Chain A
Amino acid sequence: DAKTTQPNSMESNEEEPVHLPCNHSTISGTDYIHWYRQLPSQGPEYVIHGLTSNVNNRMASLAIAEDRKSSTLILHRATLRDAAVYYCILRDNQGGKLIFGQGTELSVKP
């Protein structure tokens, strides 16, 4: 499974945008980029995923570099509830399991 690299931690102010980076230089052509997050004392939850084009949903946006070697999860207006560990995961379309890395711990200041 291809690896991803994320900063260990990031800080944000409430109501400001947050850009969470992820490097995946060994990504293969069939790998999708998935983001999950884990709020304190909860199980992980799905955030967003994409292949090549940028993606938007109600939770976040995913910006994917043209060479697909990196991506950025964008939270448009951080709230205190967005404080969590964010995981960037590569997954082949044929695979089901998720391989979690260390993730980025996001803290949000009021």
Chain B
Amino acid sequence: DSGVTQTPKHLITATGQRVTLRCSPRSGDLSVYWYQQSLDQGLQFLIQYYNGEERAKGNILERFSAQQFPDLHSELNLSSLELGDSALYFCASSVAPRGTYNEQFFGPGTRLTVL
């Protein structure tokens, strides 16, 4: 158990819909990362937050947005869903936003299925 929690575990929805994925980082971790894992693209970095502020952006679509709240939990919002958005979405957390000992701890993931 990494200490990172993600809800829900599974999500099934239809094209065009909007969903919200939630992540609670490990106690004491200020940085949160979101990754997407699909069969054709592998594990891809989406976005990083540190203490409520966006820190880095990766291959995140404009239909996707995220935020980190004052209690440090984070939400990833996916809208106008397409079949290709079906994937595993992982959240990870770390103490610092960068640096040598910036080990990331991953949650168990949310499996999103878009029908």
Point out residues on A near B: beta carbons under 8 Å: 32, 36, 38, 42-46, 49, 51, 87, 93-103
Q: Which residues of B contact A51 (CB under 8 A)?
A: 100
Known: A97-B56, A102-B42. A42 touches B94 (CB 8 A): no
Q: Which residue of B lies closest to A38 (CB)?
A: B43
Cα separation A12 to B58 with both chains bound (whole Å): 35
Question: Across the interface, do B33 and A97 meet the contact criterion of CB distance under 8 Å?
Answer: yes
Let me know if B45 and A99 touch, CB within 8 A: yes
Contact size range, B:
20 to 34
A51 to B97, CA, bound (A): 19
Asked if residues B42 and A43 are in contact (CB atoms below 8 Å), the reply is no
Known: A96-B102, A97-B58. A44 touches B48 (CB 8 A): no
Cβ–Cβ < 8 Å partners of A44 in chain B? 43, 90, 92, 104, 106
Q: How far apart are the CA atoms of A49 and B94 in the complex, in Å?
A: 15
Chain A residues with Cβ below 8 Å from B98 are 93-96
Measured CB to CB, the residues of B under 8 A from A are: 2, 4, 31, 33, 35, 42-45, 48, 50, 55-56, 58, 90, 92, 94, 96-100, 102-109
CA A32 – CA B103 in complex, angstroms?
12
Identify which of B33, B50, B96, B104 contacts A46 (C-beta below 8 A).
Answer: B104
Closest to A48 in B: B103
B104 engages A98 (CB within 8 Å) = yes
B55 adjacent to A42 (CB under 8 Å):
no
Let me know if A97 and B45 touch, CB within 8 A: yes
